[in-house]
Structure 1
């Protein structure tokens, strides 16, 4: 017996016919929904017939959930009554899967013998007789009830000998991975089709076209009507499909032509007469080919869906009348416009599926991406162009129409507007997202906190393509007088078997993300917004009230990088200096106020204690402690003052770039750090008054010489006023290794833990780093996933989900000093 891989199987048979045994033999336990089990769930007794109504309501609900998720479902119940089967057919239709009936037609006497042998069955023989009578009636009407497959096993021997094989649905071509050339509505434009195939690299004949590299053409339907050479187009496409060089889905014009050729009474309009006249004088018989066309294909492991009018995610890989209708005609509102044509619902603007959907049907002036969907019908027959999408390259190839073959009833309209931001449902509530580091769960309360920040303070969400992850500190040091030290920082990577690390100067400024576009048109094309780009903080807020001048200087400095990477936009990770450029209010209110208060009080206290000591009062210990604290406060003030200098607008602002994160078609975040820093050096060379260099040292973290060299370098760096260093694997070390570890200088940590923190080192060494390290890995993974999607041209909402999750993770209860 052959059944579809995805279907709803109804086992039909009287009590004792062996349905449960059959189900255990042929299906997984999780695939089988037993009416007895559901009675037990709702009534604690699988024989309580009074609970049947509630039990079947629960069973149908669970069946619907399984079918919605695309899982084979088997219903183990007698199902001998029409109303019981109707409920199952309705569930199957609700989820657009095929209902299958497997009938176990076993003699009543044998079933009664089995029933009498079971102590848990206490109903009388007339019940079985009634079921048997219902089964006899059912055998005649199962097909008419909507079951697409009816498989009858007559007798115990047939039941025992049966085997089950699974068949793919006709639309399931996931094993075909391409590459593909997906061609829009041809409408009888043979010359343009031949030209387009030639431009795509095919060797074109009269009845076949072959690509030397084995590419496959995929036609989105509407091969016929309106244009001058429908038979020639049919001959060529039919030959390509027969030879295995092409696939083709049905268009609404093919469906109508087939009905007409079979004698149905259809309205001859919209170019159908032209096709009928052309076929009348040709030797092309398209009926077998047209009859073989299906509504849509699922290709490349489910990553690509091709349908004539598009297909929403719930219908991918499903089979039903409404799925085919959607694929042929789209989603209409039931209204007509001023041209008498149906008003179509813009399903693409709400599409949230992972699969790329390529379609035609509604002609547009130019193919444009909307939420990972694209319409490639560019109105060739109306004087537009014939367009193909090269997959997986996402490259569009078009040839212009030779002439206007058919005047459109309605002027070509632009595609639906691209998604310009987030939908609330995409980012609220508890959700789990996939990343290279594994699944990351975002708590609902953290999402709410992120939404507050994003909705009130963030830049336009179309610029928000990445947020910097938090960074874990090194293992707490046991070196005398230090809380963080290179010995432990490098030791962390040595334990992870990282062969080389980059010790990189840690600039004391404010982390910033720069999205830089080469031109306003490039920004509009890639991000759906005009402007030079954006510069924003690690919480997504605008960095400066007016950043156009700064972004323009960055654009000029990056001119050579644009060319080298073949991109009209870049995403940079950088530090904005000085710290005071962004943190001036924080410095005044939190740091300077402490220094001022302590600077006034402590010297006065030291003076009083000194005079008391001069009179012979025993205050030496107290005096020593207050004098040390006064020195600590002076050192504390010196630290934060090093990172402050006057700026006037953008004058005096410096940028320390250290990552070129992404460009057109590429996520560079996994590249070696020497590549990133070499590009950063080129920015410094191009504009040394704006960009500042990042000093670094490459060492082996497991060698004594490497640790010694890094320690001496770090001590010199921090002694001259540097904040410290960031240690990173020189090359990508995988998702389980920290992407960066910060090792901050002894003096710098005064502004983190307080002026006199060195008096409490033993207490501070008990700090717990586990949550911070876990958070750093999760946020880094989310960022990598966002950049992967950005480089792959994914719909903006998918990138935003991940970026939003990074900000939501920042609400985790982690010690901010870490």
Structure 2
């Protein structure tokens, strides 16, 4: 080996165990070949627990710490290197067990250096110079006894270095796991169980666009296994799939039927049941003209990998389904689950094993596509999809186009094999699976968002949100979005004003936003409307509906109308259906169902009057203040007038009382503008201001001028007068005249008693020069409206000066975090993700509402 270096392949997720006598150079080898964070040294752990790396009495505790740290790293998917002597079989046994617990490969790197080298090295180290010679001799004896049996102990790879030169020149080469194909991004066509139905396979490949096993657009087929058995032409299926895999046009994972066939071809004793007899007979006929085919099949099956992780980790393909903890892992347990799934230990009335409903509890971000258990229709359950639709039993052969998530199927030509059990869906919870589980929301939460990264939710806030959602919210299946809080404009120093549009325009100019749209702020309450085309859509897409017949519902609800905290807006469900019916009529008349290519739409809106939802608040807070002022102030003014008539010098006090009375009257007038009588829907108005999402698309990033054009059409085609236009004005933030026109528009509107306006980037979803999200909207409330919020006398100079020190940072941060979560919920909804994934973001918005912030902002 002189002058030649060795390469030692190490799997990227594995437990590397260094084995060697004291002084053999394990630590030096580890430092040279691995990252410092990847190495866990027994000496270091000894120092952690005893403050002395050579204190052998602390070894038991030190190894407890070592195993704990190694376990945490392996659980997190990190390559881990154990630097200890590991010459005793029992110490290695614990490490092999640890690797198996985490479904990673144990790899041994043995430094079998001569005794004199180890003794000499120890003599040069101050901490080892007093080590008795017999210690190294014992290590060497134990090591020599172990060398031949390391693979039998469970090590998948064993690298032995016998000289100083070998150890110095050896190079670790990190290899991908066989199942790690994250670098392959597709597009893919994933094909379900075939079971020898070669004719149906060719038809399906044709439907998918393949020509003689290749796709002209470079798509890759992925087969989920069970190619063989039961059907009429297993050799034909194998020949097609094997050629596609060999040419790079396909990937394939093994099914349990390939596994059994592979054992048969190796001469193992297996029962010729469940269709194997038919495959054996067909292969025997092949032997006559193609005797080499049998050996090719055996080699192909032997090379199949249990599962693949594809498309940057977004997609996992296996035969029988795979929980998230096994994705990308390598062990016999993982392979067994990928091939056979997990059973409960029971059998059904047909004598078949009852399978554990792993998909019901699946919460992974990667989509898992599999087969194995026949179902009549392929449908998503918690981001998992079973593609075995029983082609061999007379059902269909099904494929999934990825990333399009489009399902393509062809019918079976006939029943090729009578099923023991009729085709019935085992998918739990219908199309979307179980919605929200306590484990999905309890405790401190971290939600990954596309637009803002990680958003944290405190444990105490999560508990408060859980109570609201469980006790007061609408049917959770209809709760796909909650709107964010709105950021207030910066405090104004304009005389007499706490808020003014100039600051909002200036902020967006700093953020690099050239064009903004000013939208009238309506005198009502925030409302979200989910409108389905009919009750059937509500049942099919959202899983709601039953025997009840609400007006217009024809068998169930046709959507939902709820507040910004998820509560039903109207207590009367029949009245809610009338509102949804009027919205549906307008969408239909405007031709938007076809334009959006959807059967449902989610809208953000304002429902008026404010008193419709805030009657209790009006009675207990605002009306009470006005009534008290109306009762007390006139009496006080009268008493002061009498005093003045008697010559008492109370002029200043009387003047202040008159000012208070004027302020109180202005306060009463301000809140009364938001109240008017309604009967049923008479007097009720709904002002939609944004289309949030439709089937397959989030529209939250569509520019506001396009959004408002859609909404104008809705209002125009509403024959009932329920819908109200949102007035708007576009302002150029860099043009003084344009900014002045925006300010004048706001002054005119608020001067007539209007609430104010919301200033938004015209382009909707916008980032600043540093790539940070820009506020989606800044509210600028009118001078008189703020009197309701801050009290009758807030406009007095001394009060305004005090209020100008208000802290806005937390509110603005909250608005951006809730905005990012809302966008995430809409993206997940549009992407057809399971309901628990959508609720994760929705729930987080509700939880953030519990953060302490000045409610007046």
TM superposition score category, shorter chain reference: over 0.9
Matching of residue 307 in structure 1 with residue 318 in structure 2: yes
1:138 aligns with 2:146: yes
Among 696, 700, 712, which residue is 1:681 paired with? 712
Structure 2 Cα separation of the partners of residues 796 and 52 of structure 1: 50
Alpha-carbon offset, residue 614 of structure 1: 2.7
- Aligned-pair CA distance for 1:736: 2.9
> Which residue in 2 is equivalent to 1:225?
229
CA distance in 1, matches of 2:693, 2:163: 66
User: Please, which moves more after superposition, 117-126 or 750-759?
Assistant: 117-126
Q: What is the CA–CA distance in structure 1 between the aligned matches of 2:680 and 2:428, rounded to whole Å?
A: 36
- Quick check: 1:389 aligned with 2:389? no
2:794 corresponds to which residue? 757
Alpha-carbon distance between aligned partners in 2 of 1:329 and 1:525, rounded to the nearest angstrom: 31
Partner of 1:738: 775
Deviation at 1:192, TM superposition (A): 0.9
Q: Which of the numbers 39, 50, 53 marks the counterpart of 2:57?
A: 50
Query: Which residue number corresponds to residue 549 of structure 1?
Result: 578
CA contact (8 A) 1:420 1:462 kept: no
2:506, 2:733 within 8 Å by CA — same for their partners in 1?
Answer: yes
The 3-state SS of whatever aligns with 1:93 is helix
The question of whether the paired residues in 1 share the 8 Å contact of 2:381 and 2:427 is answered with yes
Q: 1-side partners of 2:57 and 2:71: how far apart?
A: 23
Alignment partner of 1:424 is 2:462 = no
- SS of 2:807's partner is coil
Query: Is 1:767–2:806 an aligned residue pair?
Result: yes
1: CA distance between counterparts of 2:20 and 2:102? 25
Query: How far is 1:747 from its partner?
Result: 0.5
Deviation at 1:703, TM superposition (A): 2.2
Contact 2:371 2:388 in 1 (8 A): yes
- Which residue number in structure 2 is paired with residue 14 of structure 1? 21
User: Using the alignment, how far apart are the partners of 2:795 and 2:681 within structure 1?
Assistant: 37
| Larger deviation, residues 651-660 vs 689-698 | 651-660
Corresponding residue for 2:4? none
Q: Are 2:89 and 1:82 aligned?
A: yes
What residue in structure 1 maps to residue 694 of structure 2?
A: 663
Q: Report the equivalent of 2:384.
A: 373
Cα distance, 1:674 vs structure 2: 0.9
| Structure 2 equivalent of residue 695 of structure 1 | 727
- Structure 2 gaps of 5+ residues are 1-7, 546-556
Tell me the distance in 2 between the aligned counterparts of 1:98 and 1:37.
Answer: 24
Q: Distance in 1 between matches of 2:240 and 2:14?
A: 36
Cα deviation, 1:700-756, whole Å, max 9, x if unaligned, reads: 123211221011000111112210000011112224311111000000001100011
Say yes or no: does 1:323 pair with 2:362: no
Deviates more, 1:418-427 or 1:441-450: 418-427
Count the aligned residue pairs: 814
- C-alpha separation between the residues in 2 aligned to 1:339 and 1:458? 42
CA contact (8 A) 2:357 2:428 kept: no
Instruction: For residue 783 of structure 1, give the secondary structure of its aligned residue in structure 2.
Output: helix
Matched position secondary structure for 1:10: strand
* 1:470 alignment partner in structure 2: 485
SS at match of 1:632: helix
Q: Deviations over 1:475-530 (max 9, x none)?
A: 10000100000111211111212111111101121101111111222222222223
Counterpart of 2:566 in structure 1 is 540
> Which of 270, 277, 280 pairs up with 1:276?
280
Q: 1:59 aligned to 2:66?
A: yes
Structure 2 partner of 1:630: 661
1:264 and 2:294 correspond: no
Cα separation, 1, equivalents of 2:266 and 2:585: 66
1: CA distance, partners of 2:652 / 2:595: 66
Q: Kindly state the Cα deviation for residue 116 of structure 1 after the two structures are TM-superposed.
A: 1.4
> Using the alignment, how far apart are the partners of 2:438 and 2:232 within structure 1?
49
Deviation track 1:416-470 (CA, whole Å, cap 9, x = no partner) reads 2233321111111112222212321111111111111111111111112111111
CA drift of 1:32 comes to 0.3
1:192 and 1:399 in contact (8 A); partners too: yes
Distance 1:92 1:651 in 2: 70
Structure 1: tracts of 5 or more residues without a match: none
- Which whole-Å CA distance do the structure 2 matches of 1:304 and 1:525 have between them? 25
Q: How does 1:608-647 map to 2 (within 5 A)?
A: 608-647=639-678
Distance in 2, Cα, partners of 1:34 & 1:796? 45
SS of structure 1 residue aligned to 2:615: helix
Residue 118 in structure 1 maps to residue 122 in structure 2: no
**Structure-to-structure mapping, 1:20-35, within 5 angstroms:** 20-35=27-42
| 1:399 aligned counterpart, secondary structure | strand
Task: Compare 600-609 and 149-158 and name the one that shifted more.
Answer: 600-609
Of residues 466, 471, 474, the one that matches 1:456 is 471
Alignment correspondent of 1:148: 156
SS at match of 2:479: coil
Q: CA deviation at 1:125?
A: 0.7
Worse-matched range after superposition: 283-292 or 445-454: 283-292
Q: Does residue 715 in structure 1 map to residue 747 in structure 2?
A: yes
For the residues of structure 1 that align with 2:830 and 2:195, how far apart are their CA atoms?
34
User: Is this contact kept in 1: 2:360–2:434, CA < 8 A?
Assistant: no
Equivalent residue of 1:697, what SS?
A: strand
Q: For 2:189 and 2:448, locate their aligned partners in 1 and report how far apart those are by CA, in whole Å.
A: 30
Number of the residue aligned with 2:254 = 250
2:447 to 414, 427, 433: 433
Q: Which moved more, 1:607-616 or 1:73-82?
A: 607-616
Query: 2: distance between equivalents of 1:24 and 1:438?
Result: 34
Partner of 1:70: 77
Distance 2:641 2:723 in 1: 49
Q: Which ranges of 4 or more aligned residues in structure 1 deviate by more than 4 Å?
A: none
**Among 507, 512, 537, which residue is 1:522 paired with?**
537
Task: Determine the C-alpha separation between the residues in 2 that align with 1:776 and 1:69.
Answer: 33
Q: CA deviation at 1:314?
A: 0.6
Q: Secondary structure at the match of 1:143?
A: helix
Q: Find the residue that maps to 1:439 and give its secondary structure.
A: strand
Q: Secondary structure at the match of 1:164?
A: strand
Separation in structure 2 between the aligned mates of residue 481 and residue 27 of structure 1, nearest angstrom: 67
- CA displacement 1:4-49 (0-9 Å, x = unmatched): 1111000011011110011111100100000001111111111111
Shift of 1:612: 2.2
Contact residue 397 and residue 410 of structure 2 kept, 8 A: yes
CA displacement at 1:130 relative to structure 2: 0.2
Candidates 343, 350, 354, aligned match of 1:332:
343
How far is 1:415 from its partner? 3.2
* Alpha-carbon distance in 1 for matches of 2:540, 2:96: 47
TM-score (norm 1): 0.98
Residue 139 of structure 1, CA deviation: 0.8
- Equivalent in the alignment of 2:738: 706
1:171 aligns with 2:179: yes
Aligned to 1:40: 47
Q: Give 1:767-806 correspondences, 5 Å limit.
A: 767-806=806-845
**Equivalent position SS for 1:768:** coil
1:368/1:415 contact within 8 Å kept? no
- Contact kept, 8 Å, 2:700 with 2:823, in 1: the verdict is yes
Report the Cα distance in structure 2 between the residues aligned to 1:323 and 1:316, rounded to whole angstroms. Answer: 8
Q: CA deviation at 1:387?
A: 0.5
**Aligned-residue offset at 1:366:** 0.2
Bigger shift: residues 275-284 or 92-101: 275-284
Q: CA deviation at 1:647?
A: 1.4
Q: Distance in 2 between matches of 1:367 and 1:651?
A: 46
- With normalisation by structure 2, the TM-score equals 0.94
Cα displacement (A) at 1:553: 1.3
Q: Which moved more, 1:313-322 or 1:285-294?
A: 285-294
